Amino acid sequence: LLQGQGRGMHEVVDLLECLNPELLETNRFQTESGDELASQRERWYEQMAKALHASQQWDRLIQICDQGLAHSLHHKTQYFIIYRKAQALRQTGKSEEACALLSSLVAKRFEWWVLMELAQTKWDLGKHRAAIRDACIAFVETKIDSLVAKSLLTISEWILQQGRPRLGDVVAPFVELVWVENGWPIKDALRSRLSALHVSNESDVKDPNILARNIIQELWKVLDEFDPPLTGIVKRFLPNGKAMFLGVEGRGDVYARVYGRKQPQIGDRVLFRLFSSYDRKRDEITDAAIHVHDLH
């Protein structure tokens, strides 16, 4: 419905309004391969939220999201609906509420696009260092491709405002290459943004894989500057051996997944940074260790 119909999104909303979600099937579907698909009701809320977002009907989007969340939606659909509500809250000036929702989402399940939305919301609030930190975390371990190109452009502009042009020097040629390879026109607005990043010698690199590696390297450098790693000591392991607790001076033990192929040992000193995580056992958001690696 949302693709290839040649209708404006307002018209798509009108079509969806003709259906009463209360009357739609609530059972999820299972394919022959065992995959589970959303129910008719869940798909209605997903499609309506997408159409309302595309047509920038923010107040109506919040209303529909609240209506959907009042039902027992599958956790995957619920995640997406909360994300759309947070986007609408941000657009209506309720950025603090949007931050709270987005923070809870990334703590329960990490998705780069949710964390980037959180970063942009923090930037709106003037929390620039926190925004840059979150944006870097969103992409240091994410595939660098056409899906993330625009977000990388935004991060580069933020960092340039902090007086650090290096990231833009590698992102700008990557974005331009992506647009050319996909046959997308580089319009004046985009050309202006690329030019403002002061592209230097990196513009001679035409291999997207090399540029992607350079981008990751620069993101790690920025992240280490804006959120320097902490030091901890491996204290104990969970019985399954897949997670451990780190002793950190000045605070309680911190949960961390076991890293790398080599099993760490009790007493090993490691570097890490904190990131919000959902403790299912306690049903609460807490801090956990990420980016754990040996202290060399």
Residue 262 is predicted with a pLDDT of 79
Q: Which of 4-18, 93-107, 119-133 has the lowest mean pLDDT?
A: 4-18
Residue type, 164: R
**Mean pLDDT calculated for residue range 283-289:** 92
Residue 201 is predicted with a pLDDT of 56
Residue type, 188: D
In sequence order, the β-bridge partners of residue 264 are none
Residue 99 is predicted with a pLDDT of 97
Asked whether 16 and 51 are in contact (CB, 8 A), the reply is yes
Asked whether 140 and 219 are in contact (CB, 8 A), the reply is yes
Q: How far apart are CA 112 and CA 128, in angstroms?
A: 18
Where b means 16+ CB within 10 Å and e means fewer, 125-158 reads: eebbebbbbbbbbbbbebebeeebbebbbbbbeb
What is the value of pTM for the model shown? 0.91
Tokens 């998705």 found at: 111
Q: How far apart are CA 67 and CA 258, in angstroms?
A: 40
Residue 164 is predicted with a pLDDT of 87
Residue 133 is predicted with a pLDDT of 98
Residue 4 is predicted with a pLDDT of 38
Tokens 């309004």 found at: 17
Confidence check: pLDDT of 261 > 80: no
Q: What phi and psi, each to the nearest 5 degrees, are found at residue 279?
A: -90, 105
In sequence order, the β-bridge partners of residue 284 are 279
Q: What phi and psi, each to the nearest 5 degrees, are found at residue 2?
A: -90, -5
Proportion of the chain above pLDDT 70, given as a percent: 96
Confidence check: pLDDT of 1 > 50: no
Return the closest-CA partner of residue 275 out of 88, 156, 115, 122: 115
H/E/C letters for each residue in the chain? CCCCCCCCHHHHHHHHHCCCHHHCCCCCEECCCCCEECCHHHHHHHHHHHHHHHCCCHHHHHHHHHHHHCCCCCHHHHHHHHHHHHHHHHHCCCHHHHHHHHHHHHHHCCCHHHHHHHHHHHHHCCCHHHHHHHHHHHHHCCCCCCCCHHHHHHHHHHHHHCCCCHHHHHHHHHHHHHHHHCCCCCCHHHHHHHHHCCCCHHHHCCCHHHHHHHHHHHHHHHHHHHCCCEEEEEEEECCCCCEEEEECCCCCCEEEECCCCCCCCCCCEEEEEEEEEEECCCCEEEEEEEEEEECC
Residue 296 is predicted with a pLDDT of 67
Residue 259 is predicted with a pLDDT of 86
Tens-place pLDDT, residues 186-217: 999 999 999 999 766 555 778 889 999 999 99
CB proximity list for 261: less than 8 A, separation 6 or greater = none
Residue 279 is predicted with a pLDDT of 86
Tens-place pLDDT, residues 11-34: 889 999 999 999 999 988 888 787
